[in-house]
């Protein structure tokens, strides 16, 4: 039988695992620094828990697990005869593979609400499975890294999560742009322009502005049946360019008090905030109270971000950001890698009703996700791993001239391990050339050779594989060198 | 909808995840110290890769994943009409969940043989899934921790793996007994006693000796059709008690040269080795050459173990140890926790033909497994986690009297995080009592209170939650205290 893996799934070689570990550990360390706690949920959930959460498309992409035993026994004979796959599924499968971490998390929060404290800050780094058509960069099994806080509406978390993005990508040495918007503002625009009935469609089109341009957006808005007058008003909103307040000197739009903090961030952010306030100028309590609320929320989030003087990555208010998932109800985020051709490598936002399916009372939450697989690919592309010592490889392997020498090498090997120094021993006293070849291929930095002379004197001939230098050392000297 | 998980699967609360992480990290650190490298394989494998490896029972316990789309379309109409679950399975499911780590590993080794160096030393810590009936301590999703080396017959690895068991359980502060045997010796006994035709059955019965006693074993041997004469000879072998050589003074059985090293291990091990040699005395080149080979192998393994003077846990030659899996061809191991009611918490052995299914040429391997879930349960039972600081929890949470104070607290919080000190902030300036309640429930060691006085002076009122002591500190003083 020819060995192979399923399409869309991957084996990882040691070097890849080590890089992935470095990535996950960096992300996890940030989660812990910010006080988030780890949870884990099962890979398989009840099908009824997962089904119905991801839209029709998502449901089709769920991997369903066949019931065990004589699973056809209870299946409807007529549906079987008609080969009605859709109808049969629920009678032959009660399990499905985790499709994301969000739904299991909301299930978890409701189920364990008496064992956890709210606000509940959790992170979760686990694989998910999707029956998507495999292609470059898209897998059927991949990791998600989610961090959420549930049980508080405080906007301080919006700022905290943006800061966490900044922190992680700084640690990874990856320059990014963090885009920020608020779904309430988008709803405000829809309200102002009189097209709330087509809100979701409107946001989906808006989200494509970078790809299809302002003309493309106009065309698609008309196509879905938004009238000309509304389209004009939409365009007026989304093309706001506050050119007359480039220095953060935004007295006109009521931002005077924040001038000082804005200064720290320079023109760009001043402009971003002005843009929000220009928009605010269009809205009134009557034509879009929700939009005004969204702007106020964003104002406070930016204030917290200004207070966090240590953000190094770019972040901006981005009116066209919509996020595909319509369960977001407030601030939304998206992260793009600069200097690399790649879609979003992170995203998230605030949601208010996610726990309702499981009977969770009105629990507001907010979370972000790190697109670990894509981040990994970008880091490979930019050769960022080359700058990091990811190796867990032991640095030395012992080679021996004969059986007695090997016993002596084995003793030294034991001694090093007791002292906490990782090391290996070549398993047989074969020809030195063959042992050396293995040491070379494995990439050891040193070899420790034990011949008769070394054995008799309880020493090791230490060879530096890069410089070629050799010297005779004791076990303790060896430990000093390797530590 | 009532939230719940599937039977046999588990959610893990933060505290449980932290304990599990501690356990896995301890095991992983040992693997790395001994120079083993991590690999990962997909959770789902081709059904044909997994099926047929685990016996009929195992095959039934495989979780099979339903094909996506209109999966019934290609299924045989007649088999559907007959509700023939068994026949239909392969036409509606081409994926199965990983049942163990061994089969995926052997698939991996053959598939990547040109990307890895032999001997290939790998470890793998990943979950597996089995449709076993859930019960106390038995789950449908659980972790395995395997470490193997493939591509060498050297017995130095037998010793290395036993030492790794000792190392890990010492680090975990768990006293264990490591039992060692060699399947070749068992085969030798079968050969000597003339019942090689019933070898597998014989070993399964022998393995139960601790439970059913010598009488039970006798009865069952007779039951499976082994004749009286053979049974007598078997009993003679397995009841060897080398009482006349309790001090390792085993000249009669040819062990004189090892006296000195034996001394270090005292009577018990001397006795163990004598037992092997008493057995050797019964065998000849004619009646069981394989048995003699097994004894020689064991002799060398024990010699390496004697050389490793730093083994603290008990280990012994255990003739009745058989291991259920008949792919083992040489040394076998099993670990039992002392001081706890629990079956084996680890096991493994040497195998010679595992890669053959995938076309791998004659690659001998040896591996052991740590039963992480059981080890976890034993450690909980013995309250071993209580002695360890597993907390990743930030030690401090900031509470604030009002909105301005919260901004000040937020700044301090940022400052601490920049300095690498984990901390949290209560998200809203609610009544102090409510904030304190949360801090208490979460178990923070300190709270940092920011009221008007603290805000104006850029300080924090630090309260020790255990002693109740309070003092006013600066951010830098706080970092000193927390670090």
Residues B351, B352, B358: CA angle, nearest 5 degrees: 105
Q: What is the pLDDT of residue B242?
A: 65
Q: Do A60 and B46 touch (CB under 8 A)?
A: no
8-state DSSP, A368:
E
Of residues B310 and A136, more confidently modeled: A136
CA–CA distance, A403 with B209 (Å, rounded to integer): 38
- B251 in contact with A, Cβ within 8 Å: no
Tell me if A425 sits within 8 A of A398, measured CB to CB: yes
Distance of CA A439 to CAs A286, A392, A466, A479, B109, Å?
Answer: 76, 15, 12, 19, 19
> Does A255 score more than 60 pLDDT?
no
| Alpha-carbon distance A60 to nearest alpha carbon in chain B (angstroms) | 7
- A480 in contact with B, Cβ within 8 Å: no
Q: Side-chain half-sphere of B296: how many Cα atoms within 13 Å?
A: 10
> Does A160 score more than 70 pLDDT?
yes
pLDDT-based confidence at residue A165 (cuts at 50, 70, 90): very high
| Alpha-carbon distance B319 to nearest alpha carbon in chain A (angstroms) | 27
Which of A193-207, B82-96, B241-255, B347-361 bottoms out in mean pLDDT, i.e. has the lowest? B241-255
Give the ipTM. 0.92
CA–CA distance, B241 with B248 (Å, rounded to integer): 13
- B453 in contact with A, Cβ within 8 Å: no
> What is the SS3 assignment for A150?
strand
Q: How far is CA A432 from the centre of its chain?
A: 47
The 3-class secondary structure across A322-348, one letter per residue, is CCCCCCEEEEEEEEEECCCCCCEEEEE
- Token pair, residue B167, equals 């190392």
User: Best of A2, A6, A89 to disrupt the B interface by mutation (most B CBs within 10 Å)?
Assistant: A6
Residue A286, judged by CB atoms within 10 A of its CB (0-12, 13-18, 19+), counts as exposed
**What percent of chain A has a predicted confidence (pLDDT) above 90?**
70
Please report residues of A whose CB lies closer than 8 A to that of B23. none
- B381 in contact with A, Cβ within 8 Å: no
Which of A78-87, A443-452, B62-71 bottoms out in mean pLDDT, i.e. has the lowest? A78-87
pLDDT-based confidence at residue B387 (cuts at 50, 70, 90): confident
**Phi, then psi, of A328 in degrees rounded to 5:** -75, 140
pLDDT-based confidence at residue A3 (cuts at 50, 70, 90): very high
Q: How far is CA A290 from the centre of its chain?
A: 30
Each residue's pLDDT tens digit, B13-29:
999 999 999 999 999 99
Distance of CA B40 to CAs A117, A379, B118, B397, Å?
Answer: 35, 20, 18, 38
CA–CA distance, A53 with A98 (Å, rounded to integer): 12
Each residue's pLDDT tens digit, B319-373:
989 887 678 999 999 999 999 988 899 999 999 988 888 988 879 999 999 999 9
- A18 in contact with B, Cβ within 8 Å: yes
CA–CA distance, A17 with A23 (Å, rounded to integer): 10
Please report residues of A whose CB lies closer than 8 A to that of B448. none
Tell me if B274 sits within 8 A of B242, measured CB to CB: yes
Q: What is the pLDDT of residue A393?
A: 67
| Alpha-carbon distance B373 to nearest alpha carbon in chain A (angstroms) | 14
| Alpha-carbon distance B211 to nearest alpha carbon in chain A (angstroms) | 31
> What is the SS3 assignment for B471?
strand
Each residue's pLDDT tens digit, A109-122:
999 999 999 999 99
Q: Do A17 and B1 touch (CB under 8 A)?
A: no
> Does A251 score more than 60 pLDDT?
no
- Token pair, residue B287, equals 């009646």
The 3-class secondary structure across A79-138, one letter per residue, is HHHCCCHHHHHHHHCCEEECCCCHHHHHHHHHHCCCCCCCCEEEEEEEEEECCCCCECCE
- Region at B458 (left for phi over 0; alpha for psi -120 to 50; beta for the rest): left
Residue with tokens 């890294």: A145
Residue with tokens 């992300």: A27
Q: Do A40 and B115 touch (CB under 8 A)?
A: no
- Token pair, residue A313, equals 């990555």
- Token pair, residue A171, equals 């640690």
- Region at B134 (left for phi over 0; alpha for psi -120 to 50; beta for the rest): beta
> Does B259 score more than 60 pLDDT?
no
Residue with tokens 């401090």: B396
Tell me if A479 sits within 8 A of A465, measured CB to CB: no
Q: What is the pLDDT of residue A246?
A: 46
Among residues B185, B148, B164, the alpha carbon closest in space to that of B329 is found at B185
Q: What is the pLDDT of residue B325?
A: 67
Tell me if A119 sits within 8 A of A152, measured CB to CB: yes
Tell me if A363 sits within 8 A of B3, measured CB to CB: no
Q: What is the mean pLDDT of residues A384-405?
A: 88
Residue A396, judged by CB atoms within 10 A of its CB (0-12, 13-18, 19+), counts as buried
**What percent of chain B has a predicted confidence (pLDDT) above 70?**
93
Segment 35-54 of chain A within 8 Å of chain B by CB: 35, 37-46, 48-49
Domain ranges of chain A: 14-43+98-386, 396-482
Residue of A nearest to B103 (CA): A3
Long-range contacts of B324-330 (CB under 8 A, 24+ apart): B324/B204, B324/B207, B325/B349, B326/B200, B326/B203, B327/B351, B327/B353, B327/B354, B328/B183, B329/B183, B329/B184, B329/B353, B330/B158, B330/B182, B330/B183, B330/B184, B330/B294, B330/B297, B330/B366
CA–CA distance, B481 with B319 (Å, rounded to integer): 57
b (16+ CB within 10 A) / e for B1-36: eebebbebbbbbbbbbbbbbbbbbebbbbbbbbbbb
Of residues B277 and A346, more confidently modeled: A346
The third-level CATH classification (topology) of the domain covering A14-43+98-386 is BirA Bifunctional Protein; domain 2 (3.30.930)
pLDDT-based confidence at residue B309 (cuts at 50, 70, 90): low
On the question of a cis peptide bond just before residue B119, with omega within 30 degrees of 0, the verdict is: yes
Of residues A287 and A54, more confidently modeled: A54
Please say whether the dihedral angle defined by the alpha carbons of residues B251, B253, B258 and B260, taken in this order, is positive or negative.
negative
> Does B186 score more than 60 pLDDT?
yes
Length of chain A: 483
Residue with tokens 């470890």: B123
Each residue's pLDDT tens digit, B312-330:
898 888 998 988 767 899 9
> Does A292 score more than 50 pLDDT?
yes
Please report residues of A whose CB lies closer than 8 A to that of B417. 33-34, 167
Each residue's pLDDT tens digit, A20-40:
999 999 999 999 999 999 999
Tell me if B358 sits within 8 A of A3, measured CB to CB: yes
On the question of a cis peptide bond just before residue A119, with omega within 30 degrees of 0, the verdict is: yes
Q: What is the pLDDT of residue B247?
A: 42
- Token pair, residue B306, equals 């004697």
Distance of CA B351 to CAs B99, B153, B346, B363, B430, Å?
Answer: 18, 10, 16, 9, 64
Q: What is the pLDDT of residue B10?
A: 97
Tell me if B128 sits within 8 A of B100, measured CB to CB: yes
Q: What is the pLDDT of residue B360?
A: 83
Q: What is the pLDDT of residue B342?
A: 86
- B417 in contact with A, Cβ within 8 Å: yes
Host H or E run for residue A447: strand A446-450
Q: How far is CA A398 from the centre of its chain?
A: 41
Among residues B41, B102, B141, B178, the alpha carbon closest in space to that of B373 is found at B141
CA–CA distance, A2 with A272 (Å, rounded to integer): 58
Mean pLDDT of the residues in chain A: 90
| Strand arrangement of the beta sheet that strand A446-450 belongs to | A424-425, A396-400, A446-450, A460-464, A470-473
Please state which architecture CATH assigns to domain A396-482.
3-Layer(aba) Sandwich (3.40)
Instruction: Name, in order, each residue with C-beta under 8 angstroms of B408's C-beta and a sequence gap of 6 or more.
Output: B400, B450, B454, B455, B458
- A11 in contact with B, Cβ within 8 Å: yes
**What percent of chain A has a predicted confidence (pLDDT) above 70?**
93
Residue with tokens 């509606």: B92
> Does B390 score more than 80 pLDDT?
no
Cβ-nearest to B6 among A46, A70, A80: A46
- Token pair, residue A320, equals 């066209």
- B403 in contact with A, Cβ within 8 Å: no
Q: What is the pLDDT of residue A325?
A: 67
Host H or E run for residue A448: strand A446-450
Q: Side-chain half-sphere of A417: how many Cα atoms within 13 Å?
A: 30
- Bridge partners (DSSP) of residue B424 are B397
pLDDT-based confidence at residue A309 (cuts at 50, 70, 90): low
Among residues B157, B199, B115, B57, the alpha carbon closest in space to that of A12 is found at B115
- B392 in contact with A, Cβ within 8 Å: yes
pLDDT-based confidence at residue A430 (cuts at 50, 70, 90): very high
Which of A119-133, A146-160, A259-273, A379-393 bottoms out in mean pLDDT, i.e. has the lowest? A259-273
Residues A187, A55, A159: CA angle, nearest 5 degrees: 45
Q: What is the pLDDT of residue A282?
A: 80
Tell me if A140 sits within 8 A of A97, measured CB to CB: no
């Amino acid at each position: 039988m020819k060995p192979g893996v399923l399409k869309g799934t991957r084996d990882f070689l040691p070097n890849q695992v080590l890089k992935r570990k470095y990535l996950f550990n960096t992300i996890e360390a940030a989660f812990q620094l910010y006080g988030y706690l780890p949870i884990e949920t099962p890979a398989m959930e009840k099908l009824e828990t997962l089904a119905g959460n991801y839209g029709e498309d998502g449901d089709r992409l769920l991997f369903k697990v066949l019931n065990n035993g004589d699973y056809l026994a209870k299946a409807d004979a007529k549906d079987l005869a008609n080969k009605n796959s859709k109808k049969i599924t629920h009678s032959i499968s009660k399990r499905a593979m985790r499709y994301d971490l969000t739904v299991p998390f909301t299930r978890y929060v409701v189920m364990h609400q008496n064992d956890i404290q709210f606000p509940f800050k959790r992170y979760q780094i686990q694989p998910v499975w999707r029956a998507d058509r495999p292609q470059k960069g898209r897998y059927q099994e991949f990791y998600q890294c989610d961090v959420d806080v549930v049980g508080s509406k405080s906007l301080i978390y919006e700022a905290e999560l943006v800061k966490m993005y900044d922190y992680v990508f700084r640690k990874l040495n990856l320059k990014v742009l963090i885009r920020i918007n608020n779904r309430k503002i988008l709803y405000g625009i829809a309200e102002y322009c009189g097209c709330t009935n087509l809100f979701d469609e409107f946001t989906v089109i808006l989200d494509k502005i970078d790809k299809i341009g302002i003309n493309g957006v106009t065309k698609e808005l008309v196509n879905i049946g938004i009238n000309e007058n509304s389209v004009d008003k939409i365009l007026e909103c989304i093309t706001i360019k506050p050119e007359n307040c480039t220095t953060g000197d935004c007295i006109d739009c009521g931002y005077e008090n924040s001038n000082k903090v804005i200064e720290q961030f320079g023109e760009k952010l001043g402009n971003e905030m002005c843009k929000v306030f220009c928009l605010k100028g269009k809205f009134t309590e009557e034509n879009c109270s929700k939009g005004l609320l969204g702007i106020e929320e964003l104002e406070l989030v930016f204030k917290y971000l200004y207070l966090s003087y240590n953000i190094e990555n770019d972040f901006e208010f981005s009116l066209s950001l919509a996020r595909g998932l319509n369960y977001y109800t407030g601030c939304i985020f998206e992260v793009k890698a600069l200097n690399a051709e790649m879609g979003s490598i992170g995203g998230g936002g605030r949601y208010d009703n996610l726990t309702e399916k499981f009977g969770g009372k009105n629990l507001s939450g907010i979370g972000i996700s790190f697109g670990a697989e894509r981040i990994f690919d970008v880091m490979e592309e930019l050769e960022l791993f080359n700058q990091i010592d990811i190796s867990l490889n032991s640095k030395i392997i012992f080679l021996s001239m004969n059986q007695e020498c090997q016993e002596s090498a084995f003793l030294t090997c034991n001694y090093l391990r007791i002292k906490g120094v990782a090391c290996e021993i070549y398993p047989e006293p074969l020809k030195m050339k063959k042992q050396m070849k293995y040491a070379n291929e494995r990439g050891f930095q040193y070899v420790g050779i034990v011949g008769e002379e070394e054995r008799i004197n309880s020493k090791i001939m230490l060879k530096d594989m890069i410089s070629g230098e050799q010297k005779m050392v004791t076990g303790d000297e060896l430990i000093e060198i390797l530590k």
